[in-house]
């Protein structure tokens, strides 16, 4: 396996600089090696063009220490890294208040072992919604038992709660917390449609 790896790399580098290069009959690599290298070269070029997700190290738990604490630590780091990657769209005050709540949510002393740890895909959906809908108001944050990010905002007598799901999906509900109006409005779908839904319901988050 090691030899094959070296052969492909060498051939790949040759083809990179000399695409029309033909090996001499007594060359150490066969024509087949060069064909494979050519294919790998093309695949490599394509994957390099794709945006690669940042590699985040995960905490290695030493024997006798708390594995849950390490998982929560990683989840906190991951959530904040996602927020940092979009920081140019979020105000410093907004980020500070959201980070504080994430720290509280993923505090080990609060954790029930049965609860799912924050799914970073739902954190991404939450932030994409905040940026897309140009939301200035800081929400109250929570987590569903499945590990989905939950956010709530209050306006006049109404409360909006959104559970964010992976792949830009969400479930939202608007209700009156004063108890004098039993009406409840619900919506499920893409966060992009949620924005229009909120506009129709005159629920401003500026």
Partner 1 sequence: LNKKTTRIGNADDIARHLGRNHLETDPETGKVIGVFNTAFDLKVAKKEKEASVNHLQFFSGETLNQLKSIKADMVNSGYTVGPQSAYSVVRVETVESCGKDSGVSLAVFKRPLEKNRSHAGLRGLPLDNSNAELRERLAQAASRVIFAAAEL
- What lies within 8 Å, CB to CB, of 31 at 6+ separation is 23
Other residues' Cβ atoms within 10 Å of the Cβ of residue 29? 16
User: Looking at beta carbons only, is 35 or 134 nearer to partner 1?
Assistant: 134
User: Looking at beta carbons only, is 53 or 179 nearer to partner 1?
Assistant: 179
Rule CB under 8 A: say whether 180 interacts with partner 1: no
Rule CB under 8 A: say whether 35 interacts with partner 1: no
Question: Rounded distance, CA 157 to CA 126, Å?
Answer: 24
Rule CB under 8 A: say whether 193 interacts with partner 1: no
What tokens were used for 180? 């004098």
Smallest separation, CB 167 to partner 1 (Å): 18
β-strand partners of 141 = 151
Question: Rounded distance, CA 97 to CA 91, Å?
Answer: 10
Q: By three-state DSSP, how is residue 201 classified?
A: coil
Q: Which of 1, 24, 60, 184 binds partner 1 (CB under 8 A)?
A: 184
Q: Contact at 8 Å (CB) between 195 and 133?
A: yes
Rule CB under 8 A: say whether 13 interacts with partner 1: no
Q: Which of residues 92-151 bind partner 1 (CB under 8 A)?
A: 97, 101, 104-105, 107, 109-116, 138-146, 148, 150
Name the site residues for partner 1 (rule: CB under 8 A): 97, 101, 104-105, 107, 109-116, 138-146, 148, 150, 152, 154, 159, 161, 163, 171, 173, 175, 177, 179, 182, 184, 186, 188
């Amino acid at each position: 396996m090691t030899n094959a790896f070296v052969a492909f790399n060498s051939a790949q580098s040759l083809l990179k600089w000399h695409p029309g290069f033909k090996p001499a009959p007594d060359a150490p690599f066969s024509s087949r090696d060069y064909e494979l290298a050519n294919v790998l070269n093309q695949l490599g070029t394509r994957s390099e063009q794709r945006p690669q997700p940042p590699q985040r190290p995960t905490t290695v738990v030493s024997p006798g220490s708390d594995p849950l604490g390490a998982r929560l630590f990683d989840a906190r780091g991951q959530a904040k890294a996602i927020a940092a990657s979009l920081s140019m769209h979020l105000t410093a005050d907004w980020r500070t208040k959201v980070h504080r709540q994430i720290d509280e949510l993923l505090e080990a002393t609060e954790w029930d072992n049965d609860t799912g740890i924050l799914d970073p895909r739902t954190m991404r959906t939450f932030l994409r919604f905040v940026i897309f809908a140009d939301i200035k108001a800081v929400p109250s944050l929570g987590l569903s038992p499945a590990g989905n990010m939950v956010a709530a905002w209050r306006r006049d007598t109404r409360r909006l709660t959104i559970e964010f799901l992976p792949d830009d999906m969400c479930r939202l509900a608007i209700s009156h917390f004063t108890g004098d109006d039993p009406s409840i409005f619900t919506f499920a779908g893409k966060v992009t449609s949620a924005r229009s839904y909120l506009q129709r319901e005159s629920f401003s988050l500026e």
